[in-house]
Chains A and B, each alone.
Chain A
Amino acid sequence: MSDNPLFCVGKSVTRKDALAKASGEALYIDDYSYGGMLHAAAVRSPRPHIRIKGFDARAAEKVAGFVMLVSAADIPGKNIWPVVKEDCPFFPETESRFQGETLALVLAETRLAAREAAAKVKVLCAELPFVEDPLAALEKSAPKIYGGNNVFSSYVIKRGDVEEAIRSADAVVEGVFTTNYQVHVYLETQGAIAFPEAGGAMTVYGSLQCPYYAHDAVAQALNITHNKVRIVQRVTGGGFGGKEDVPALVAAHAAIAARKSGRPVKLVYERDEDFISMSRRHPSWTRMVYAARKDGAITACKAKYVLDGGAYATLSPIVLWRGTVHAAGPYKIENVSVESFAAATNKAPCGAYRGFGQPQICFANESLLDKLAEKLGMDPLELRLKNILRPGDKTITGQVITGSCGLEEALVSVREKSGWAKRRGRLAGEGAVKKGLGVSANYYGVGLGAGGKYLDRAGAHVSVSKDGSVYAAVGNTEMGQGAQTVLSQIAAETLNCPYDGVRMTEVDTSRVPDSGPTVASRTTLMSGNAVIDACKPLRGRIFKAARELLSAKGAPEGAMEASGGEFRAGGKTVSFSEAVKECWAQRLKMAEHGWYAAPKTSFLPENGQGDAYVTYAYSANVAEVAVDTETGAVRVEKLYAAHDLGRAVNPRLALGQMHGGALQGIGYALSENLVYKDGALLNPNMSDYVLPSSMETPEFDCSTIERPYEDGPYAAKGFGETPLIGPAPAIANAVKDACGARVPGLPLMPEKVWGRLKDKA
């Protein structure tokens, strides 16, 4: 964009929101309260599948402070939550499909009264047959929850001749791999406050990732036009995908209650309600085959991939699509056949979770790749290096990889840092504790790609005040990942304004047009480009005014240096705010809208061929683990990771994404285990669903590889999800290296590891 060296992009400036959050000043949804505000609490389905006959609220009505019960009959609009397949009601009318589903709300004067009354509402119902296991759900005899076959969606990718390639291969390996749920456990639970406004309008504040999804849902539930809905995001205490779709349901519930009562309504979830009813990562089942030549060249990959979608389709179709497209791993393979299915079961719907259908299949393919290396007698890291995608290679959908691909460097980086060649297979343990190293590689299509291309656009509004301060509004949200900081850096760099002079606040749908969801690691790329688009005309005006002021100060005509919020020529200096003042004096337009739409993708659903995503982020991980062979307990001692993210706009924030994502990956691999029995969730709390604490965090050695992406803002591409994807298979491979046990199912609970060891002995 200019010849001046970058002064803000690429620097680890302090987060915009850090001090407000650390000092306790930042206001999250539950920190707001308003006069006349009612509190809502949910009445939930007691069983996995029921026919609803009605509610007995007599005991609830006796609770002091009880105001009313709100249910399906109170919905003024269409009782369908607008998300992908449109199969999920706001409140079910006659049939509820999972334990914990919200059937109705109790409104009361205090939160305690609302909860007490909700617990006293009797759900009058009859039990229906239910299905819990996704493979069983696909059987003909299964009770039908969705369509005639319980399949929410299914995809194929076909390339070359897989059967022939397998027949003629020198080595063939096959395996079945499973993964369990993972729950986001963002520290702040779901919540929203709805305010009825004059003329039938509705404003909703919420903790959410995707305000425009909530916008659509509230308009549909209330049967009002979009211009009567305003969604304002509040500081959001974590999302990781868990605040993608479901906050729209929470917002719509609050709005329906506010409409009926005519008063502001606050609906904030307790932790167990969040566990029982909100979204989570899909459990998976994969059967996979790799075939290769003697020299290690992979010739074929065949896979069947099944996701357990839960009771409603919600985001399953797109989660499945992402997993399918990435199924064979980041390798060039001529013969591929992938079939995938998302099955309906009577459990809470699964949805978006950082990685979005990739961590599951990556565990399968990267575990199986190690098995292939073993069969070929090759080093598993070298086997990967032999087969990985490099610029010019084609993915399994036939997409040609561009120059922004640093996977080889990433693998080499973790190989060198971990001392792989000398240490793998040779780490000394102590007594019953054995140690080992394991590797994995992955790639991640940035943005929505062909799976959600009509949503892949974003807006921005940038306004420069006469005092030289800048306000930037975007349509993608800050949920902890650092969006406001990175986008402020991009605005500062483009305008040549001091970083401290840029302010952003949470997303407000009345300020910026529908910018799609804040998902798919797309914010830096999409909103970043939209911010640049808005800044460009402003930059032209400010730079011109600065040049005029320099001339007026006696600086010679010609080149001017612009950096760090200053304009310099011939020993004279003009500050950003002086230049802005001059623009205002000239009555120039000092606010602009920006827009960015992702380039088209050419993917064809019939055969799964074509360009699936605009670009990819790449990463490699090596895990160093210790296994206690007496108990089966696994500990990750060190994690080496390298990520190609185009360019790190803020290296410290990028590192924070790597650490945090990796630790979620370690939790996924080792301890996070949600247990259902008889359609009921047994451990909806943070003691029995075990998250990594400060004691489990390993030593991290993470680095970035920068292979610039031309269409990205200052060459950046998104990458916030990749850090979670690679650790689990690297850990499983390291466990195998340490003690010989190959566990094909996540999480690697001690009893599973110990069981495998015992079988071996």
Chain B
Amino acid sequence: MSIKQKINRLPVFVRALIISVVFAVFLVVVQILISGGTISGYISKIIILVGINMILTLSLNIATGYLGQLPLGHAGFMAVGAYTSAIILRAVPADSAAALFPVTLIAGGIMAAIFGLIIGIPALRLKGDYLDIITLVLGEIFRVIITNIDSVLGFDFTYGARSLKNIPKVTTFIGTFLCVAITCLLIYTLIHSRQGRAILAVRDNEIAAESCGINITLYKTLGFTISAFFAGIAGALYASYLGILNPASFGFMKSIEILVMVVFGGMGSMIGSLISATVLTVLPEALREFESFRMLVYSLLLIVIMIFNHSDKMKRFKTVAIDKIKAVFSKKAVKGAENEQH
């Protein structure tokens, strides 16, 4: 019996308990290391950014991996969440910002979800490339609106290209990773349910899904809206992590960056999303020393890893390699058991 099967045999609540305990220990240990100064301020900042990018990747993965669409304007939803939360937090008394943050976080998510819904209803009636291009355009429209809305309104609201400054920096390590955990949990329960099966069915075959009684427009819109919601949460965390927002950071390149993380981790894979968000956040930072080669090396690594992840030969190679490694371990285990007997 493989380890995975053994784990799957355990009752659900035991598994949930084990995971919660391991996760709580991880949170506490890292927090102690950060407070004690063992993990430097710089590293801890990167760790938080990893968490935010995890949520972003997981959120886009709902639309791409589970729903089978390819939205190119995901950063737009992140921006909506970021500005919503930031504007509320700047308006409340500074000492209550931290306490109110969970509320503004959800407000950011809901606002992004509303935008996702408004866009999703017409856009999801389009197919393939048309949908991709529409989302790309709408993402850019968000950015342009945020940049220019102040001159329309006649008062300072988003501060446009001058940047929204002095946002209370209330994003913490523990807060971010609790959000990561909750995101994982909610996506997991959604996908393994009646509604999640409907979303996956729409991805695998629209006509067949429809002939099973599934309203495909409803589920596409639902998936798209949920995807936008979590992007909004990530945006809100990002706003209070940086303390300053500029519309330029939510452009097309940001959307592509998130998409790269999803594709890199494997569409529809939650663990893959988490790993790839980590690697692709840490890698550019680690390459900072080689300043002039940084982008070159980064791109090369991306290409190499993509090839490794997605070519059929490599897939076959990987399964063979994994089988061999497993075989070695099981042999060792058998030998170990034999040795014990002698």
Do A and B pair up? The answer is no
B contact set with A: CB distance below 8 Å: none
A residues whose Cβ falls under 8 Å from a Cβ of B: none
